[in-house]
Amino acid sequence: RAPHKRLGVAIVGLGRLTLNQILPAFSQSQLARPVALVSGRPEKARAVAAQYGIDPAAVYHYDEMARMAENREIDAVYIVTPNGRHRDHALAAAQAGKHVLCEKPMANTSAEAREMIAACADAGVKLMIAYRCQYELLNLETARLAQSGELGAPRIIHATNTQVHGAGDQWRIRAALSGGGALPDIGLYCLNGVRTMLGEDPIEVYAQIVNPVGDERYAEVEETVSFTLRFPSGAIANCVTSYGAHECKNMEIRLEKGSLELENAFAYQGQRLYVAQLRDGREQMSEIRLAPKNQFTLEIDHFADCVLNSRTPHTPGEEGLQDHILMEAIYRSAREGVPVKI
Ligand code: NDP
């Protein structure tokens, strides 16, 4: 392979995330480029292909993903369809011999996540889950500081991801396509975020679910989840996610000798990191500033680097599986009203 070759990616699903974030992020990538599209709407796909200089012959329907095996321009796929479709699309891509980058949540269940890991391993292709915050620079700096010992040990984390969900019958409120409500969609950022900040996995979860009475949007999936995670180090995380509360995407870590506040931790942009530190008995406040970079581009470039240079992704399928195991424990705790050991 020529050293300058960029990874050729087929994007699967032309919804909001693909059109508004992912395709624009590719234009800033040095290592990857979109070379094919997979969509249920051929006319729209052809228009998007023309806009991004993609060969119109490289537009596929979901049923035709096996044909991608014949297209040597396609090295990998980026799956951006509803959660309940990820497993089938990942299996189809692996069978066609293509590496897989898959949006979060990885699937609907841990069983599906395991099938995806096995299929990619059998096919000898890489599997990465698109946990964009793990590639965002101020999130990385927060995790580094939390684990460095400079502020003592982390004791308490608060993570909030809330937004007000519009009306309408979309896949996010249909359990078969979403696997759940606010938890897998946006609460996952709290869950994965606190695991990343602490660099360890919880040993116990305790959760409560609240749904507005009589609201048909929440007949199949949940609106609000509050969950507590207890970690082996003794740290405790309080997380809350909701489709029904004014937007907040912040994370706060209280350590023995200071605190870290990451504003807009889970947003596409606008992260701000404030550090409070005890020095000689006095509290000093500072803000850490870094030149912002598009986190989708950083994530795509990491995936491309892993494929092109035979490296293991920082967020492999096992990372997605672990979150599914934890989300299943969160649902069980809420259902049974008791803490659940992992
Ligand atoms: P949209 O509803 O905007 O788009 C989903 C697309 O999937 C559709 O446009 C359609 O593409 C395709 N699709 C295939 N099968 C179906 C189906 N049965 N019902 C509906 N659509 C279908 O969703 P998003 O773009 O917001 O989300 C897509 C994925 O990305 C999800 O897994 C979500 O969790 C994840 N996501 C991640 C974010 C992040 O920050 N990392 C943010 C937002 C979403 P087509 O018309 O081309 O067939």
pLDDT for 127-160, tens place per residue?
Answer: 999 999 999 999 999 999 999 999 999 999 999 9
Closest Cα to atom 23, ligand 1: which residue? 15
**pLDDT for the residue 24:** 98
**pLDDT for the residue 266:** 98
Ligand 1 centroid distance, CA of 28 (Å): 22
**pLDDT for the residue 3:** 52
**pLDDT for the residue 279:** 86
Identify any residues that bridge with 205 across adjacent strands, giving them in sequence order: 229, 340
Identify any residues that bridge with 282 across adjacent strands, giving them in sequence order: 279
> Where do we find the tokens 């101020």?
138
Instruction: Report strand pairing: 59-60 vs 127-129.
Output: unpaired
**pLDDT for the residue 280:** 87
**pLDDT for the residue 71:** 98
With a cut of 70, list the residues of the chain below it in pLDDT: 1-4, 167-169
Domains, the chain, in order of start with CATH, read: 7-132+296-315 (3.40.50.720), 133-293+324-341 (3.30.360.10)
> What is the phi/psi pair of residue 136, to 5°?
-80, 135
Q: What three-state secondary structure class fits 136? A: coil
How far apart are the C-alpha atoms of 59 and 81, rounded to whole Å?
16
| Ligand 1, pocket residues at CB < 6 Å | 13-18, 39-41, 80-83, 85, 103-104, 130, 132, 171, 177, 185
Ligand 1 centroid distance, CA of 198 (Å): 30
- Omega of the bond leading into 105 within 30 degrees of 0 (cis): yes
Instruction: Report strand pairing: 204-210 vs 224-230.
Output: antiparallel
Packed helices 317-336 and 110-123: angle between N→C axes, nearest 10 degrees: 170
Catalytic annotation on 44? no
Probe target for ligand 1 pocket from 52, 81, 247, with the most ligand atoms within 8 Å of CB = 81
pLDDT for 234-277, tens place per residue?
Answer: 999 999 999 999 999 999 999 999 999 999 999 999 999 999 99
Q: Which of 60, 135, 189, 218 is catalytic?
A: 189
3-class SS shares of the chain: helix, strand, coil, % to 5: 40, 25, 35
> What is the phi/psi pair of residue 341, to 5°?
-80, 145
**pLDDT for the residue 107:** 98
Report the 3 state secondary structure along 98-135.
CEEEECCCCCCCHHHHHHHHHHHHHHCCCEEECCHHHH
